[in-house]
Amino acid sequence: MSNSAFYFIVYVWIGVALVIFPIVLHITAPYGRHTTKQWGVLINNRIGWIIMESPALLVFAFLFLFGSATHNVVTWIFFSLWVFHYINRTVIFPFRLRTKGKKMPLAIVFMALGFNFVNGFINGYYLGTLASYPISWLTDPRFIIGMIMFLGGLAINWQSDNILIHLRKPGQTGYVIPQKGLFNYISCPNHFSEIIEWFGFAMMTWSTPALAFAVWTLVNLLPRALHHHRWYRSTFPDYPSKRKALIPFIL
């Protein structure tokens, strides 16, 4: 693939995200607490989660490992961070969920499958074939700031997931109001942290494919956070009135 063809795909992918953003603001994705049978066949949510996340891990890893670029410690760091995140998301996180018997629409699984395939492809191809970073990149402010953002986002994301997972005791059903960590300020710190994480990755790699993924993460998770926030407020009359949806004190 020529460089121009590759970057054309990346720019089109960013363009698609910007076009659909106003649309997804008004469409509540029907999985998790918003699951509905109106979107067709439902499957086990753990199986669905593994299927839909796997391309981001497998496609990325394949294209990186079998690409034509010569890797050094810089690109191996980028590879390790991506794979570390998606091993957790694909094969660890689904089995930590206390969601026995819950399902998600197969249509959502297929849409997420395509989304993760494209993001895994453009970032794996870039780092595996096109990328070239000198060792001095490790001291570049963009790398340092991006790494801080990525690791900070990852830490908040894990903390938020742990809080949500342990809200209910084994076998317990129903929803309760999260009270710990950043949940004291926003309804969706798990989404906020993942946005920070991937904009950090875009910063440290200083690449258009990583920026495309960060933009798509924002386009997907900002509406999701707003919908969650609205759901919390309509479900719990005593929901904290000062708590924001996604960004502390702002949004």
**Residue 173 pLDDT exceeds 70:** no
Share of the chain above pLDDT 90, in %: 67
pLDDT given for residue 101 in this prediction:
66
- Kindly state whether residue 27 falls inside one of the protein's structural domains: yes
pLDDT given for residue 218 in this prediction:
96
Per-residue pLDDT of 59-78, as tens digits, reads 999 999 999 999 999 999 99
Q: CA 131 to CA 128: how far, in whole Å?
A: 7
Please give the average per-residue pLDDT across 190-197, as a whole number: 96
Total-model pTM: 0.92
- Kindly state whether residue 251 falls inside one of the protein's structural domains: no
Please give the average per-residue pLDDT across 34-45, as a whole number: 70
- Kindly state whether residue 246 falls inside one of the protein's structural domains: no
pLDDT given for residue 16 in this prediction:
96
- Kindly state whether residue 195 falls inside one of the protein's structural domains: yes
**Residue 34 pLDDT exceeds 60:** no
pLDDT band at 245, cuts 50/70/90?
very high
- Kindly state whether residue 242 falls inside one of the protein's structural domains: no
Q: CA 59 to CA 81: how far, in whole Å?
A: 15
Distances from the Cα of 153 to the Cα of 74, 176, 199, angstroms: 20, 24, 9
- Kindly state whether residue 228 falls inside one of the protein's structural domains: yes
Share of the chain above pLDDT 70, in %: 91
Please give the average per-residue pLDDT across 189-215, as a whole number: 97
**Residue 171 pLDDT exceeds 70:** no
**Residue 244 pLDDT exceeds 70:** yes
Contact assessment for residue 74 and residue 133, using Cβ atoms and an 8 Å cutoff: yes
In 38-99, the DSSP E strands lie at 42-44
Please give the average per-residue pLDDT across 144-158, as a whole number: 96
- Helix and strand totals (H; E) in the chain: 8, 2
Domain span including residue 36:
3-235
Q: CA 14 to CA 24: how far, in whole Å?
A: 15
- Kindly state whether residue 97 falls inside one of the protein's structural domains: yes
**Residue 7 pLDDT exceeds 90:** yes
Per-residue pLDDT of 98-109, as tens digits, reads 666 678 888 888
pLDDT given for residue 90 in this prediction:
92
- Kindly state whether residue 248 falls inside one of the protein's structural domains: no
Q: CA 70 to CA 149: how far, in whole Å?
A: 26
Domain count, the chain: 1
Write down the residue that tokens 């694909």 correspond to.
90
